[in-house]
Structure 1
Amino acid sequence: MAAESGLTERQQKWFASVQASLERDTGKTIDEWVAIARTCPETKPKARQKWLKEHHGLGVNRASYVLSQAFPSEDRWDQPEALRAKLWTDPASTAILEAVERAASALDGVVVGQRKGFTVFSRNVAFAALRPLKGGKAALGLALTPDADPRLSGPKNDGWSERLKARLELSSSTEVDEGLRELLRRAWEGS
Structure 2
Amino acid sequence: MATPDEMMRSMVANMPAKTGRSLDEWLVLARAAPEPKHGKIIAWLKGEHGLTHGYANLVATAHLSPERLAPPTARSDADLIEAQYAGKEILRPIHDRLSELALQLGDDVELAPKKTYVSLRRSKQFAIIQPSTKTRIDLGLNLGDLAPTGRLEAFGPANAMVSHRVRLEDVDAVDAEVMEWLRLAYNAA
Shorter-normalised TM range: 0.5 to 0.7
Alignment correspondent of 1:182: 180
Give me the whole-angstrom Cα distance separating, in 2, the residues matched to 1:146 and 1:93. Answer: 27
Alignment correspondent of 1:130: 129
Q: Counterpart of 2:81 in structure 1: which amino acid?
A: R
Length-normalised TM-score, structure 2: 0.57
For residue 80 of structure 1, report the CA deviation from its aligned partner. 1.2
Give me the whole-angstrom Cα distance separating, in 2, the residues matched to 1:168 and 1:156. Answer: 12
Alignment correspondent of 2:152: 152
**Do the aligned residues in 1 keep the contact of 2:121 with 2:127 (CA within 8 Å)?**
yes
For residue 178 of structure 1, report the CA deviation from its aligned partner. 0.8
Kindly tell me: are residues 116 and 142 of structure 1, through their superposed partners in 2, closer, same or farther at Cα, counting changes over 3 Å? same
Length-normalised TM-score, structure 1: 0.56
Q: Counterpart of 1:178 in structure 2: which amino acid?
A: A
Give me the whole-angstrom Cα distance separating, in 2, the residues matched to 1:127 and 1:151. Answer: 18
Moved more, 118-127 or 86-95: 86-95
Matched, 1:99 2:122: no
Q: Aligned residues: percent identity?
A: 21
**Do the aligned residues in 2 keep the contact of 1:146 with 1:154 (CA within 8 Å)?**
no
Alignment correspondent of 1:119: 118
Greater gyration radius: 2
For residue 79 of structure 1, report the CA deviation from its aligned partner. 2.1
Structure 2 counterparts to residues 18-167 of structure 1, below 5 A: 72=71, 76=74, 79-89=76-86, 90-108=88-106, 109-144=108-143, 145=145, 147-156=147-156, 158=158, 160=159, 162-167=160-165
Question: 1:147 is paired with a residue of what secondary structure?
Answer: coil
- 1:62-113: per-residue Cα shift (whole Å, max 9, x none)? xxxxxxxx97356x3x621111111122222111101111111111111011
Structure 1, unpaired ranges of 5+:
1-37, 40-69
Kindly tell me: are residues 112 and 71 of structure 1, through their superposed partners in 2, closer, same or farther at Cα, counting changes over 3 Å? same
Q: Counterpart of 1:81 in structure 2: which amino acid?
A: A
* C-alpha RMSD of the superposition: 2.4
Residues paired across the two proteins, number: 121
Give me the whole-angstrom Cα distance separating, in 1, the residues matched to 2:96 and 2:130. Answer: 12
Kindly indicate whether structure 1 or structure 2 has the higher relative contact order, using CA contacts under 8 Å at least 6 residues apart: 1
Give me the whole-angstrom Cα distance separating, in 1, the residues matched to 2:118 and 2:140. Answer: 10
Structure 2, unpaired ranges of 5+:
1-22, 25-68
Question: 1:94 is paired with a residue of what secondary structure?
Answer: helix
